[in-house]
Amino acid sequence: MLGGSFWISFVRNGLGAGLMMAVFMLLEHPGAPLKRTIRNCVAFWLLATSGFSIWYLLDSVNFVRFAGMLSIPVVGLFCLGTGRERLYLSLYKLTLGFYLLSVTVFAGVDLSRLWFGGSIWADIIVRIVLIAVIVFLLVTKIRKSFLDGVDYLREELDWFSAITLLLSVLIAALVAFWPGSHEFSYLHIGRTAILLFMTGLIQYMVFHLYLHRGKEKRYRAENELLKMNEQFVQRQVELLADTKQYREDMESVGTGRICENETINSILCAYAGWAEKKNICVKMNVKVEEGGIVREIDFAAVIANIFENAIRGCIESGSSAPEIYLSVIRKGKKLAIQCKNTCVPDIKFKDGMPESDTDGGTGVLSIMKVVSFYHGEADFSVEEGMFDARVLLKIPEHMQAVP
């Protein structure tokens, strides 16, 4: 492009690699402790910048032709290995970083040639100013809104969106980085600017399209959850009388309460009584104190949905000896819930969640909503004829003082 020494190349390469990594990491939930992430990023930045600069020193012609394009796999593999998001979302952030790199390279080179007689230092200063503006906007304007909508994007981005983004950015990159097309003219500058603008527009439209799709899908799920909650309330009314009788029977034989939490104890008694009527063997190990831990309405939603799904699973299995095992235990700063039940062997899964032929899986959606709220984890699997649902909720800090 504008030439320069090894150290000029080092500065340019460092700015480019730093920009791509900054864009990716600022839009990422770190998957490792912050200090270790920063240390790894600095080490990789030094290695990549030095490697590309040595390449420039040894073969500047091919470096100018191919270095820009090769920055995608080189920086991309590091970012993908460091990040913890799904592949499609990571590719979106990676292409965004490379697009912004293309913009800074084009602006630095052509503005330097247009106004400053091709000055190397003008090129570098323009890049530094643009990178500073980009990082400032990311931190103050973009990062929060992006992370607020990342759940929607995580669910909706797919191969089509990833390929669309990659192709659009690669086409723009060919113009921004390929030296043979860099004749200095107003026509070339205008053509490249329009191409980069259209590429940026595609990035913006893809982001908002899939964000809108994700929100629409979530709203539909919310409506289904409202219907499911209505059914849940009706179920509680139906089971209320049975609950009283079941608790009296337990106390009469000296079994006592299932757990210390009154709300959860009532729900467990209700569903245990229902299971008993269906000749389902139920074993429970529930250690939950009264109050604290997580909001009772969220806790009740998870327990009720898991237990009801387990009972329905046992009924649908047609087994002569169905059984349910439920465990609820607090482990330090986390609440662990596990339920195993007899089930049919051919349960279908989609994105790690079981599909339902009857209620559309709204019970599982309700569970996942609570899991997401408490930044927890959920896992569903089938092994040896038993459906295994495991939920881990992180106890909020203001509730962790409860013993």
Shared domain check, 51 and 178: yes
Shared domain check, 307 and 185: no
**Which of 107-111, 157-161, 213-217, 385-389 tops mean pLDDT?**
385-389
> SS3 for 281?
strand
Is the residue at 110 inside a domain? yes
Is the residue at 231 inside a domain? no
Please list the alpha-helical segments (H only) found in 278-351.
Answer: 296-317
- Kindly state the average pLDDT of the residues 16-44: 79
Shared domain check, 195 and 129: yes
- Kindly state the average pLDDT of the residues 292-320: 85
Shared domain check, 317 and 207: no
Is residue 248 over pLDDT 80?
A: no
Is the residue at 230 inside a domain? no
* Cα first-last separation, the chain: 65
Instruction: Give the tens place of pLDDT for each residue, 347-393.
Output: 888 777 887 654 444 578 778 888 887 888 999 999 888 999 999 99
Strand ranges (E), 62-175? none
Shared domain check, 151 and 271: no
- The more confident residue out of 190 and 381 is 381
Shared domain check, 136 and 209: yes
Spatial strand order in the sheet of 323-331: 281-287, 323-331, 334-342, 386-394, 377-383
Q: Which tokens sit at 269?
A: 């008694």
Last residue of a domain, one of 217, 241, 274: 217
Shared domain check, 193 and 52: yes
Select from 75, 113, 115 the least CA-distant residue to 94: 75
Shared domain check, 190 and 290: no
Grade residue 403 by pLDDT with cuts at 50, 70 and 90: very low
Is the residue at 249 inside a domain? no
Shared domain check, 264 and 206: no
pLDDT at 21 (0 to 100):
85
Residue 394: phi, psi to the nearest 5?
Answer: -85, 125
Is the residue at 31 inside a domain? yes
Is residue 191 over pLDDT 80?
A: no
- The more confident residue out of 399 and 282 is 282
pLDDT at 251 (0 to 100):
53
Is the residue at 237 inside a domain? no
Q: Which tokens sit at 187?
A: 């026509």
Say if residues 401 and 355 touch (Cβ distance below 8 Å). Answer: no
Which residue bears the tokens 């079941």?
A: 246
Mean pLDDT of the chain: 77
Shared domain check, 270 and 188: no
Domain count within the chain? 2
**Share above pLDDT 90 across residues of the chain, in percent, rounded to a whole number:** 13
Is the residue at 227 inside a domain? no
**Global pTM exceeds 0.95:** no
Grade residue 400 by pLDDT with cuts at 50, 70 and 90: low
pLDDT at 388 (0 to 100):
93
Instruction: Give the tens place of pLDDT for each residue, 195-228.
Output: 778 777 877 777 777 777 777 776 776 666 566 6
Grade residue 71 by pLDDT with cuts at 50, 70 and 90: confident
pLDDT at 207 (0 to 100):
75
Shared domain check, 279 and 198: no
Is residue 127 over pLDDT 50?
A: yes
Q: Which tokens sit at 342?
A: 């007899």
pLDDT at 360 (0 to 100):
42
Is the residue at 250 inside a domain? no
pLDDT at 31 (0 to 100):
54
Pick from 217-221, 254-258, 307-311, 321-325: least confident: 254-258
Shared domain check, 51 and 189: yes
Domain of 111?
A: 6-217
Grade residue 246 by pLDDT with cuts at 50, 70 and 90: low
Domain of 269, CATH number, reads 3.30.565.10
CA distances to 177, 271, 364 from 236, rounded to whole Å, are: 66, 9, 18
- Kindly state the average pLDDT of the residues 123-133: 91
**Which of 181-185, 215-219, 279-283, 369-373 tops mean pLDDT?**
279-283
Is residue 30 over pLDDT 80?
A: no
